[in-house]
Each structure stands twice: as C-alpha cells, then as structure tokens.
Amino acid sequence: MSKHATVIHWFRRDLRLMDNTALTAAAKDSTQVVPVYVLSDWKKNHGWTGSIRQQFLCGCLESLAKNLEANGSRLILRTGRADLEIEKLILETKATAVYLNRDYDPYGREMEQKVQALCARHGIECHSFKDRVLHEPEEVLTGNGGPYRVYTPYSRNWLSLEKVSPVSKPASLGLASTIPSEPLPTLDHWQLSAPSATLPAPGERAARERMKSFIEDRRLMGYAQRRNTPAGTTTSRLGQDLRFGLISIRELFARCMAAVATATNAEERTSIETYLKELAWREFYLSILWFYPAVFEEEFSPEFRGVPWVGRDEHFQAWSQGKTGFPIIDAGMRELLATGFMHNRVRMIVSMFLTKDLHCHWKLGESFFMQHLVDGENASNNGGWQWSAGTGADAAPYFRIQNPWTQTKSYAADGAYIRQWVPELKDVSPERFLAPPKDNRSIAPGYPLPIVDHSTERERTLAIFAKHRQG
C-alpha cells in the first residue's frame, strides 16, 4: 500500500524519466505524482544565461511533457519563486510530500532550504536525493575530513568509491493531475529573441541517442588520442545532456564501464579511463563550489585577490565577436556563437587569451560563456575560467601562459577547424595560422591584424602578477 496518496516531484536539472532518483522514489511511495517545473520570471537579460540555453530548455520541457503524457501523467508548469509556487501547489493538490533531487550551487541550496522549511510549516514530508552526481561533495573528503583543493588526489578517491547502479523509469506516476498549468514556454516567456545558433536536438530521447552514439560508435575508445583535436566530433558532446539531466550520470558511468570489456587494447582502455577522469573533474568543480561558494564573487586563491585587470573594452568586444586576428581564437568564438558549443581545448585557449593577453577580468569571460553555452554549467565554467586566469583551484600557475600560435600548431595545424569557422580564411594556407604575420599585412582580405602582440602581453602579465604578489 502506498505511503502517500499524492506527492509533488519538483523537476530541476533532472529533465528525464529514466533513472531519476527522486522521481522513482516518489512513484514508489505514492498513488499519484504531480510533476512540476517552475519557470524563472526574469525578463530580457540575465548574467548567467541567454537565448541559446533557454531555447534548448524549452525543447527539453516539451519533450518531458510528452514523455509524461505517454506515462499517463502531465507536467505542471508555474512561474515565479520556486518555494512560493510549490507552496501553492501543495495547497491545490493536498500533497503530503515533496520530492526533489539536490543541487549544489548556492542558489539551489538556498531554495531547497526554503522548500524544506515550507514543508515543515505545512506538516508534510520533504525528501531530497543525490542524483546529479555519482558522489556528493561531502562523500569525497581528505584523510582529515576536509575538502580537496587539488584535483588529482580528489580523482583517485572519487574513482575508488563504489558507484550506484542506474534503475529503470517508473512504470506509472498515477493519474494525471487536473489542476491548472501554464503552457509550455517559448523564448517570449523571457522576452528573448530567437538565437541564430544551430543547437543539438533537445530532450531525453535525443540525449540518450547521443550517449549511445558516443559509446557504440567507439568515439569513447579513441577519446584519449583525439579529445584535444577541435576539428570534427572528437569528444562526447554530452555536456548539455548532463547539465539539464537529460541523461543519468550513473547510466553514463555504467555504460562506460561496460565498454571496458569490449576494449581491444591498452589505448582503448586508457581512453575510457581518461573520459571517466573528466567526469571526476565535473564533480571536483561542484565540490569546490559547495565548500567555497564565494568563488562566484572572488578568486579561489587568496593570493590573487585584487590583481588588477586592465583590459580594454574594445579588446573584449573583438574577442567576443571572433575578430582578434588570432585565427584559433576567432574560430573558437565563432563556433560558440554559431552552435552554443566550443571544444574544450579551445575553451582553454580563448580563456587564457582573454585573461593573460587582453588582461580582461575572468568574470567577463565567465558571464559571456554562461550566456552563450548550451552546456553552461556554472561550477565547471567558473572552475575553468579561474583555472585559465591562474586564480582557481588546482589552476595553471600564473606564469604558465599559453601561446595561441603554438597551441594552433599543436592541436589545429591542418587548418580544418579554423577554415570551418572563419570563412575569410578558407583559402589561406594553414602555415599562416601558426605565427603572426611578419609583414604587418592581413593574411586575408577583411580579416584583422592581431590586436595585440602575444610576447609583449605575456611579459606584461608576468609583471602585473609579480608586482601583486610582492604586495
């Protein structure tokens, strides 16, 4: 016999039915589950998102609604502050419990506490679950019981811990609720214009196909060898699917582990291990955010708080438009604008260029990425930007400054990636992408000269940081 007649499942970053921890528990414990998603009520501009990710979210919610209808249920949509809307829903449905999957950023944690408090006021149960991660921050601690500040020992511990197996989707969520719901959102909900970017297909089914393709097409088996090559599809491309919870991290891990049995050599086994370590990086940055939420506002390393960032606005604008005169930088930024995605190696190159060559504050780049990345995940994005700036957890030392020209030679020397995204350069010999022009003439009509000299700006950065460290 069910424990509850009616309960609420609050969808957040878990927009799927398969292996959804809180949803599965809600279905097991009740006769009827009322699924709800609470839309944000900001309009026009937001520092942490934009039309690209909101467009993808709209598609994911449409897919989720159809999947729930196929299950005999119905997605309820509301707009506003999540705790207030859930409280209204409790009164409307006479629900006796709320089920949710935990979040790890400061806003998510604060809202969970408010929902727990309102449930207590109404005398009903509130159940929260681990779902977004394989291991929560407080499950992966040092021998002294504190948080890790360095990735490598964190990852060793993370990899050694037992992983929970995935479960199937609930057989039934009970009768569909007849209470009022808002319509599925479009970009008009936030007063946003349609993006020009071509985005991946949204929703759980499309995400599961991408996961299946990554493993069964054996891209996973070549991951270690090809992951730093920006041309082509050389990585998993599952970032947006993990960010919105369209796939389960437990199922992804389990499928990767199952693939070990099909590996035919040491290189393929190394590739699987390398990919799993990338999943550990994701949870390392979530752990950093959990224990040090101030990283959104200041440098993780106290040593570098107050470093003067003296970048010029016109340089930031050139960077954001992909018009710096550095082909690898411009290709990366134009890929981002056109697709909502940027290859991870290129993310590192363009991030270090903005902070170390153009001397712009990492927060500017952090916000720009979050507004344009379809897979924008605030913990990983913050961690990546502070890594490149030399200010973050286990960051690149401030004196390690990537040279865009040599990075191009190492990872994009054939010119395919640059030619794909910078059409002005489609007929230019790839050798011209490996060093600044010697004759002070543009390498192609309509393409700008480099806006700075890398060697000069590198020395300037070293001087700025050295002076700051000296007090």
Kindly write down the DSSP assignment for every residue of 288-328, as one continuous string: HHHH-GGGGTS-SSGGGTT------HHHHHHHHHT-SS-HH
Element of type H or E holding 106: helix 106-121
The helix, strand and coil proportions of the chain, stated in percent and rounded to the nearest 5, come to 50, 5, 40
Could you read off the pLDDT of 158-190 as tens digits, one per residue? Answer: 999 999 999 999 999 999 999 999 999 999 999
- pLDDT, residue 157, reads 98
Q: Is 463 exposed, middle or buried (0-12, 13-18, 19+ CB in 10 A)?
A: exposed
In the block, residue with structure tokens 């996973």: 220
Alpha-carbon 312 to chain mean position: 28
Question: Exactly one of 62, 278, 424, 457 is catalytic; which is it?
Answer: 278
Question: Which of 333, 355, 353 lies closest to 417 in space, CA to CA?
Answer: 333
Q: How far apart are CA 183 and CA 173, in angstroms?
A: 21
Active site includes 281? yes
Token digits of residue 66 = 């159809």
Instruction: Indicate which residue of 48, 309, 403, 424 is catalytic.
Output: 309
What percentage of the chain reaches a pLDDT higher than 70?
A: 100
Q: Which two tokens stand for residue 84?
A: 């207030």
CB-count exposure of residue 306 (10 Å: 0-12, 13-18, 19+): exposed
Whole-number pLDDT of residue 135: 98
The DSSP H or E segment spanning 36 is strand 30-39
Over residues 336-364, the mean pLDDT reads 98
Average pLDDT over residues 246-260: 98
| Residue 385 a catalytic site member | yes
Sheet containing strand 30-39, strands side by side: 76-79, 30-39, 4-11, 97-101, 125-129
pLDDT tens by residue, 66-105: 999 999 999 999 999 999 999 999 999 999 999 999 999 9
CB 101 within 8 A of CB 20: yes
Active-site residue flag, 309: yes
Distance between CA 364 and CA 366 in Å, rounded? 5
- Judge whether residue 1 has pLDDT over 90: no
Tokens matching residue 237: 């491309």
With a cut of 80, say whether residue 296 has pLDDT above it. yes
Specify whether the CB–CB gap between 33 and 73 falls below 8 A: yes
226-243, pLDDT tens digit by residue? Answer: 999 999 999 999 999 999
Question: For residue 396, what pLDDT band results from cuts at 50, 70 and 90?
Answer: confident
Percentage of the chain with pLDDT > 90?
97
Catalytic residue among 157, 344, 424, 457: 344
Residue 60 has pLDDT above 90, yes or no: yes
Point out the catalytic residue in the list 385, 387, 405, 421: 385
Catalytic residue from among 10, 190, 362, 387? 362
C-alpha 115: how far from its chain's center?
A: 25
Query: 83, 118 in Cβ contact below 8 A?
Result: yes
| Amino acid identity, position 205 | R
Dihedral, 266, 270, 271, 277 alpha carbons, nearest 10:
170
344 given a catalytic annotation:
yes
Q: Which of 126, 104, 122 lies closest to 22 in space, CA to CA?
A: 126
The per-residue pLDDT for range 187-201, each reduced to its tens digit, is 999 999 999 999 999
pLDDT greater than 90 at residue 471:
no
Q: What phi, psi does 10 have (nearest 5°)?
A: -95, 105
Q: Helix or strand or coil: residue 91?
A: helix
From the candidates 92, 281, 403, 424, give the one annotated as an active-site residue: 281
Residue 260 has pLDDT above 80, yes or no: yes
Q: What are the structure tokens assigned to 251, written together?
A: 């199922």
Tens digits of residue pLDDT in 8-43? 999 999 999 999 999 999 999 999 999 999 999 999
Which residue in the block uniquely carries the two structure tokens 């993780």? 300
Considering the chain, what is the average pLDDT of its residues? 97
The predicted pLDDT at position 337 comes to 98
Identify whether the C-beta of residue 176 lies closer than 8 Å to the C-beta of residue 73. yes
Give the closest residue to 14 by CA, choosing from 247, 245, 250, 249. Answer: 245
pLDDT at position 287 over 70: yes
Side-chain-facing half-sphere of 376: CA atoms under 13 Å: 24
> In angstroms, rounded to a whole number, what is the distance separating the alpha carbons of residues 402 and 404?
6
CA 73 to chain centre: 29
Amino acid at 374: V
Q: 261 pLDDT exceeds 80?
A: yes
User: For residue 266, what are the CA distances in angstroms to 215, 222, 254, 258, 359?
Assistant: 17, 11, 20, 16, 42
